[in-house]
C-alpha cells in the first residue's frame, strides 16, 4: 500500500478480508503512521527537500470539502516516487513561502524553471522562494480563458433569446393565438441553437460533424460577434500550436492583440489585459515548451485516490499515504 494508491475496500474485494478491521490495523500498527516524523505538522505542511530539482511545478488541489492545499512537485519525476517537494495547507503566499524557505537557499537557487497558472499568489511564491527560476504560465490555462470568453458570449445571447421567447409567448397569449416558435433550416429554435452550439465552440472547425457545420453556419450568420470570438480563440490556440520560436510567437501575439482591439469584445479585452500583465511568463513557454501537465496529472491522481476512498475522513492519514506514495523512495 506504500507503493500503490489502493484502498482497503479494494483489498477486501480481492482477498476477502474485513476492510474496516484491516484499515484500522494498517493505520495504527503496520504503516508506521504513528511514528511518522512529519505527523505533528502534517495537516499544516509537509516538506521533502531531497526531491528538489531544476524544473518544478506549483498548483493547488482540494483534499476534502473544497479545502485547498498548495502542492509543489518535481516535474522531472513525472508524478512517480520522489516527485513531491512540498504540501502546504491553503494558498496564502506567505504561508507557502515560509515553508519553502526551510529548504536550503543554495538548493532553491538551483531551480531553473517553475510552471504555474495565472494566480497572483502562485506568482509571488515563485518570485520569493525561487528567485532565479523562469516562471512559465501554463498555456492550457490561457486557452481555457479564451474558450470561457466565447462561452460567456454565447450564454449572454442565450438569455436574451429566452427572454424574447417568453415575451413572444406572452404576446400570443394576450392575443389569443397559438404560439409557434421560429425554426431555422436545421430545425433549431433560437434558444436551442444557442444551447446546442456549446460543444462545437470548444472544437476546431475541421473536427465538426456535418450537423455541427450546419449549426455553426447558422450561428455565425445570426451572431457575427460569436464568430469573431470563436476566431480569436482559435487563432490563440494556433499561436501556441504552430509557433516554435519565441520571437515569432511574440510577433503573432502582438497581431492577436490588434485583432482583439479591433473586435471590441469585452470578454477578450479582459483577457488581453491579463496577457499584458503576464506577457513574459506566457512567452517563456517557448523556451522549453513546458506546461503544467505534471501538476495537473498529480492533481488527477489525488482526486482519483480520494474518490476511491469515498472521501477523506482523516486528513493526516490521507497526507501520510500521499507522502508514502510520492514523497519517499519505495
Residue 247: the pLDDT is 87
In the block, cell 519553502 appears at 100
CA dist 79 and 128 (Å) reads: 25
- The neighbouring-strand residues paired with 137 are 116
CA distances from 77 to 81, 84, 161, 284 (A): 7, 9, 51, 21
Residue 289: the pLDDT is 87
CA distances from 137 to 60, 128, 176, 234, 280 (A): 14, 17, 59, 19, 9
Residue 291: the pLDDT is 86
Domain boundaries, the chain: 8-137+291-326, 139-288
CB neighbours of residue 216 within 10 Å: 19
CA dist 288 and 273 (Å) reads: 25
CA dist 220 and 201 (Å) reads: 11
Closest CA to 69 of 316, 324, 329: 316
pLDDT tens digits, one per residue of 151-170: 999 999 999 999 999 999 99
Buried-state track 241-266, b at ≥16 Cβ within 10 A, e below 16: eebeeeeebbebbeebeeebeebebe
Residue 308: the pLDDT is 75
pLDDT in tens, the chain (330 residues): 556 666 655 655 655 666 667 677 778 877 889 999 999 999 999 999 999 999 999 999 988 777 899 999 999 998 889 999 999 999 999 999 999 999 999 999 999 999 999 999 999 999 999 999 999 998 888 899 999 999 999 999 999 999 999 999 999 999 999 999 999 999 999 999 999 999 999 999 999 999 999 999 999 999 999 999 999 999 999 988 887 788 888 899 889 989 998 999 988 888 888 888 888 999 999 988 888 888 888 888 888 888 777 778 889 999 999 999 999 988
Residue 222: the pLDDT is 97
CA dist 265 and 233 (Å) reads: 12
CA dist 3 and 176 (Å) reads: 72
Q: What is the 3-state secondary structure (H, E, C) of the chain?
A: CCCCCCCHHHHHHHHCCCHHHHHHHHHHHHCCHHHCCCHHHCCCEEECHHHCCCEEEEEEEEEECCEEEEEEEEHHHCCCCCCEEEEEEECCHHHHHHHHCCCCHHHHHCCCEEEECCCHHHHHHHHHHCCCCEEEECHHHHHHHHHHHHHHHHHHHHHHHHHHHHHHHHHHHHHCCCCCCCCCCCCCCHHHHHHHCCCHHHCCHHHCCHHHHHHHHHHHHHCHHHHHHHHHHHHHHHHHHHCCCHHHHHHHHHHHHHHHHHHCCHHHHHHHHHHHHCHHHHHCHHHHCCCCHHHHHHHHHHHHHHHHCCCCCCHHHHHHHHHHHHCCCC
Are the CB atoms for 230 and 150 separated by under 8 Å? Answer: yes
Are the CB atoms for 19 and 11 separated by under 8 Å? Answer: yes
Residue 150: the pLDDT is 96
Residue 10: the pLDDT is 61
pLDDT tens digits, one per residue of 248-266: 888 998 899 899 989 999 8
Are the CB atoms for 66 and 50 separated by under 8 Å? Answer: no
In the block, cell 478480508 appears at 17
Amino acid at each position: 500500500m506504500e507503493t500503490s494508491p489502493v484502498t482497503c475496500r479494494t483489498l477486501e474485494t480481492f482477498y476477502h478480508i474485513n476492510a474496516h478491521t484491516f484499515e484500522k490495523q494498517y493505520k495504527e500498527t503496520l504503516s508506521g503512521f504513528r511514528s511518522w516524523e512529519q505527523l505533528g505538522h502534517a495537516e499544516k505542511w509537509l516538506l521533502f527537500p531531497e526531491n528538489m530539482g531544476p524544473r518544478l511545478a506549483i498548483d493547488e488541489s482540494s483534499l476534502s470539502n473544497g479545502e485547498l492545499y498548495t502542492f509543489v512537485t518535481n516535474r522531472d519525476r513525472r508524478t512517480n516516487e520522489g516527485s513531491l517537494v512540498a504540501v502546504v495547507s491553503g494558498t496564502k503566499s506567505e504561508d507557502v513561502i515560509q515553508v519553502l524557505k526551510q529548504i536550503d537557499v543554495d538548493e532553491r537557487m538551483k531551480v531553473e524553471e517553475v510552471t504555474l497558472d495565472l494566480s497572483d499568489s502562485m506568482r509571488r511564491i515563485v518570485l520569493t522562494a525561487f528567485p532565479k527560476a523562469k516562471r512559465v504560465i501554463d498555456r492550457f490555462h490561457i486557452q481555457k480563458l479564451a474558450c470561457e470568453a466565447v462561452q460567456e458570449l454565447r450564454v449572454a445571447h442565450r438569455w436574451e433569446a429566452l427572454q424574447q421567447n417568453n415575451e413572444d409567448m406572452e404576446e400570443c397569449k394576450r392575443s389569443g393565438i397559438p404560439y409557434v416558435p421560429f425554426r431555422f433550416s436545421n430545425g433549431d429554435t433560437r434558444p436551442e441553437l444557442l444551447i446546442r452550439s456549446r460543444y462545437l465552440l470548444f472544437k476546431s472547425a475541421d473536427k465538426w460533424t456535418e450537423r455541427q457545420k450546419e449549426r455553426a453556419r447558422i450561428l455565425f450568420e445570426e451572431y457575427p460577434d460569436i464568430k469573431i470570438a470563436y476566431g480569436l480563440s482559435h487563432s490563440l490556440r494556433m499561436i501556441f500550436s504552430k509557433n516554435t520560436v519565441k520571437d515569432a510567437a511574440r510577433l503573432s501575439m502582438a497581431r492577436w492583440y490588434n485583432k482583439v482591439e479591433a473586435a471590441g469584445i469585452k470578454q477578450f479585452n479582459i483577457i488581453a489585459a491579463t496577457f499584458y500583465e503576464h506577457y513574459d511568463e506566457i512567452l517563456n513557454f517557448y523556451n522549453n515548451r513546458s506546461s503544467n501537465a505534471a501538476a495537473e496529472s498529480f492533481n488527477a491522481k489525488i482526486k482519483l485516490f480520494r474518490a476511491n476512498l469515498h472521501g477523506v475522513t482523516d486528513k493526516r492519514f490521507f497526507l501520510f499515504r500521499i507522502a508514502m506514495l510520492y514523497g519517499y523512495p519505495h
